[in-house]
Amino acid sequence: MSQLIETSLGTAPTLLLREFSHRIGNEFASAVGAISLAAARSRNIEVKSTLAAVEDLLHNYACVHRCLRMPEHDLWIDATRYLRELCRAVSRSKLDGRDIKLVLAEHQVGMDAARCWRLGLIVSELITNSTRHAFAGRAGSIRVELTASATSYKCVVTDNGRGTRPVRPGHGLGVINALATGLEGSLSQKFGPHGSTSLLIFPIEMGSASPRRPRGVARVAR
């Protein structure tokens, strides 16, 4: 897996990205610690309550960051469990206050860590796009589903929002397409009066630089 990442990004950028991500994680931990200490020192109940809410929100953002960190080990992981943790963190940090429900339709699927990381980045960005463009302050739901066939993975992200295409495709869509290309996959999107659908398909087996699935292993138990 490390060879796959280094091939696509280069060794130096990979090390810098890992170091940068590690530093961000440390900053989150420092901020949470400082807020927790301030809450403990305060004698005002209202201040304590407010600081506790801020601490909880920062903790949830830190969980999102942890889920989206570049993996360091060459492992075959439980992709369903990974998406469950990511969706839970995204929901708690970004959606709960907006009355938007995030649902993961679970099917046990295994995947190598490098591609699961890329998939997580794509799913996170698609959820963000739905949150920004589909609901306009209204309640709604977003659904994520990952399945696997004998030859390919399929990930579908749908919402029940207004279903209109963004007037100007943003930087996020460019990032999504670049990540999909890195997975040797393709992304298609549909927008309609009852919501939008984003479909990502990419192969089980990639080029020779990617790790192969262990023989006899189709999924990883939790």
User: Which stretches of the chain drop beneath a pLDDT of 50?
Assistant: 1-9, 208-222
CA quadruple 10, 76, 181, 120: dihedral positive or negative?
Answer: negative
Domain 76-222, CATH homologous superfamily name and number: Histidine kinase-like ATPase, C-terminal domain (3.30.565.10)
141-169 pLDDT per residue, tens:
999 999 999 999 999 999 998 866 655 55
Domain ranges for the chain: 1-70, 76-222
**Structural tokens at position 41:** 């020192």
Say how many C-beta atoms besides its own lie within 10 A of residue 44's C-beta: 10
CA contacts within 13 A on the Cβ side of 25? 14
58-91 pLDDT per residue, tens:
777 888 888 888 887 778 999 999 999 999 999 9
